[in-house]
Amino acid sequence: MVNLKSFDLNLLLALKALLEEKNVSRAAEKLCLSQPAMSHVLRRLRNQLDDPILVKSAAGMVPTERALALLEPTAAVLREIERIVEPPPEFDPATSRRRFVISTSDYVMFALLPTLAESIIRIAPHIEVHVRQPISGPLHIVLEKDNIDLAIGFDAIFGGAPHVCSQMLMDESIVCLTRKSNAAVPGNHISLAQFLECKHVLISWREAGTGLIDDSLAKLGLRRNVFLVLPNFLTTPWILEKTDLMLCLPQRMAEQFVQLAPLKILPIPIDLPRYALMMLWHPRHEKDHAHMWLRERVRMACRRDSDIDANAGSGAKAHIH
């Protein structure tokens, strides 16, 4: 009995060529081998299969009954192997019905999703995009088990996640936002003392109700006055409009909020680094053509957003610096 572990599967290619050509020289030419090399392969086949495979006759070499019975099964196996090893078909966004799942925050939904959605629906009208809340738990495990295509968020939140692929999309700074009529902050600048005296809105998913700014203040032995903790930014422009509360948030979002309510942007009086917006995905998607297309759409949406910011003129952005 032939042991599959000891059988050289490359011999199947030679077997098929020999049975089709019924000639060692022609089979060798078909497989780009020398005639002596093909003769050696035939000897190996005979030994492995315990059958002559080809025998001499008055009309030339003819297959044995065993060899003839092997021809179609061998051809079928090789066709299956070809399907396995051939490159995947090119991704066609115009016809694809792929479903993508993106995990991200409401900031990214607000700042990036309108441009991204416009791009995708124009190029790939049948694609379906599902957006989920930010990942909770070990990133590489959640990306794998929950079938999430992309996680998008700030590097400070992900904390250098191991075992995942990542790319920086753009960087962002944190600013303060309050209503224009806030008497406690009459100008376009705010001191650290004013910042600490103001009552703050905090956007946080932590049970402890703290955020990155609170962590930075704690290192200085300081603490701000948090009045309201919310899980997202959705209602904050209208809360700020009706109160003297202050909100710290990414600059791009602040620039949008001042278009919705009579608010003003102030530079934050704390030395904070700029935050990198990161895109992360499981390594299994690295060479997936559809996934590569999605990642490029996200990168392009970020570049377009940055270009719009750069050309926006003075407006609300002028008094941040």
Whether 236 is in a domain gets the answer yes
Tell me which of 49 and 162 has the higher pLDDT.
Answer: 49
Mean pLDDT of 63-71: 92
Same domain, 295 and 243: no
DSSP code for 149? S
**Domain-ending residue, one of 267, 287, 303:** 267
* CATH number of the domain residue 143 falls in: 3.40.190.10
Per-residue pLDDT at 313: 37
Residue-number span of the structural domain to which 191 is assigned: 174-267
Q: How far apart are CA 247 and CA 176, in angstroms?
A: 6
Q: How far apart are CA 206 and CA 159, in angstroms?
A: 15
Q: Among 149-163, 168-182, 230-244, 288-302, which stretch is predicted with the lowest mean pLDDT? A: 149-163
Same domain, 76 and 120: no
Q: Residues 199, 224: contact at Cβ < 8 Å? A: no
Q: How far apart are CA 293 and CA 34, in angstroms?
A: 44
**Overall number of domains in the chain:** 3
Same domain, 161 and 283: yes
Does residue 295 surpass a pLDDT of 70? yes
Query: Which pTM was predicted?
Result: 0.70
Does residue 310 surpass a pLDDT of 60? no
Segment 209-224, tens digit of pLDDT = 566 788 889 999 999 9
Per-residue pLDDT at 319: 27
| Helices 10-21, 35-49: inter-axial angle, 10-degree rounding | 110
Amino acid letter, residue 38: M
Whether 94 is in a domain gets the answer no
Segment 113-168, tens digit of pLDDT = 999 999 999 999 999 999 998 877 777 778 878 789 999 988 766 766 678 899 99
